[in-house]
Amino acid sequence: MSVTVFVTNDFAHMSEVAADIVKNHIVHIQKEKKEVVIGLATGNSPTGLYKHLARAANAGEFDSTRIRSFNLDEYVGLPGENAQQRVMHRESYCYFMIQEFFGLLQKKFIETSLPYGSLIEQKQLVRELKTHPQDWKELGMDAGRSIAIRNNASSPYLAWIKKVILDGYAKKIKNAGGIDIQIIGVGGKGHVAFHESGIPFKNSKVLLVKLDDNTVRNAVADGHFSSIREAPHYAVSMGAELIYQAKAVVLLANGERKVEPIAASLLGEVTPEAPISYGQIYSNRGGVLIYVIDRIAAHQLLANKDVLYRKNIDIKVV
């Protein structure tokens, strides 16, 4: 296994170090080919990195007009009368990316893509799942579950979701040549995007995920949505199997809540209970896996340097 872990002072330092790594990858790739394909994440972790990258692009340090991007995930069931309203809802990940990154660029990317979750009508989805139980099954060992739609689904709507929304997004990434460098964060249970803890790795390219009830309640309690009824109950997300097909993966993490999942992902066994542990399989297959984390998130890794050394994991305090 070949993994590099950069341990930084704090969020600001983490963002700066990660941005330099991503920028250098982009510059190198742009010398080799016409277009660079990058994978993007939402959440707090990459926000500082995005600001640094936008400044670098605007300063001419790399050519943003030769970049194509794909985001990890998007909600299903955002409030709105139509897909356009849902995709531009203030809680959509599309809106987040415009606010935090795309809108900061003076010269835009070739194309930006997010999973097509906003095209799905949540009420119709729920009706179809209820009416056609033979067309799908739930997969997962924890509260969050993926909805696996069968290839021969009798429901035209569910068949359309599988072909266009799920398989279609994976096909678009493949047609772009795959992702050159993927940016990810990590959730409190070691999940990545909406590949929740307990969802199997097998066939986890693009997932339709039923959100944990606790996740939905917290979204309301935190003020993101006015009620349980208004909140999304599903999401479309890249799964670990697709995320870790990128040529390089840069994982960002900071703070106390990330200590356990970061430790489990590198010190423990590969398990769907900690989806980012799939990175061990990825790196063993030759993937470039880079962690950029702060000193707090790195606490258990720093206390187990001997284990990291035996696993050929290079840890650098910067």
CA distance 19 to 92: 24
Q: How far is CA 310 from CA 1, 12, 250, 280, 318, in A?
A: 10, 31, 22, 14, 21
pLDDT of residue 24: 98
Where residue 53 falls among pLDDT bands split at 50, 70, 90? Answer: very high
The rounded percent of the chain whose pLDDT value lies above 70 is 100
* Domain CATH for 173: 3.40.50.1360
In this prediction the pTM is: 0.96
pLDDT of residue 135: 98
Helices and strands in the chain: count of H runs, count of E runs: 13, 13
Instruction: Name the more confident of 214 and 22.
Output: 22
Instruction: Name the more confident of 314 and 221.
Output: 314
Report yes or no: 279 and 241 within 8 Å, Cβ to Cβ: no
pLDDT tens-digit profile of 4-28?
999 999 999 999 999 999 999 999 9
pLDDT tens-digit profile of 244-269?
999 999 999 999 999 999 999 999 99
pLDDT of residue 188: 85
Q: CB neighbours of 132 closer than 8 A, spacing ≥ 6?
A: 153, 154, 155, 158
Number of independent structural domains in the chain:
1
Give the position of tokens 């799939």. Answer: 278
Residue 176 has pLDDT above 70, yes or no: yes
Q: Which of 4-13, 113-122, 136-145, 258-267 has the lowest mean pLDDT?
A: 136-145
Give the position of tokens 């277009």. Answer: 35
Where residue 93 falls among pLDDT bands split at 50, 70, 90? Answer: very high
pLDDT of residue 19: 98
The rounded percent of the chain whose pLDDT value lies above 90 is 90
At 259, list the tokens.
């200590």
Is the backbone of residue 60 left (phi > 0), alpha (psi -120 to 50) or beta? Answer: left
State the virtual CA torsion across 128, 130, 132, 134 in degrees, nearest 10.
140
Q: Residue 5: how many CA atoms within 13 Å on its side-chain side? A: 29
Residue 240: closest CA among 146, 102, 151, 127: 146
pLDDT of residue 102: 98
pLDDT of residue 289: 98
Q: CB neighbours of 106 closer than 8 A, spacing ≥ 6?
A: 57, 58, 64
Segments forming the whole domain that contains residue 81: 3-317
Q: What is the mean pLDDT of residues 158-170?
A: 98
Residue 141: closest CA among 201, 219, 76, 186: 201
Residue 192: closest CA among 36, 307, 40: 40
Q: Report the mean per-residue pLDDT for the chain.
A: 96
CA distance 28 to 90: 35
CA distance 75 to 104: 23
Q: What is the mean pLDDT of residues 187-211?
A: 93
Residue 1 has pLDDT above 70, yes or no: no
Is the backbone of residue 19 left (phi > 0), alpha (psi -120 to 50) or beta? Answer: alpha
pLDDT of residue 246: 98
pLDDT of residue 30: 98
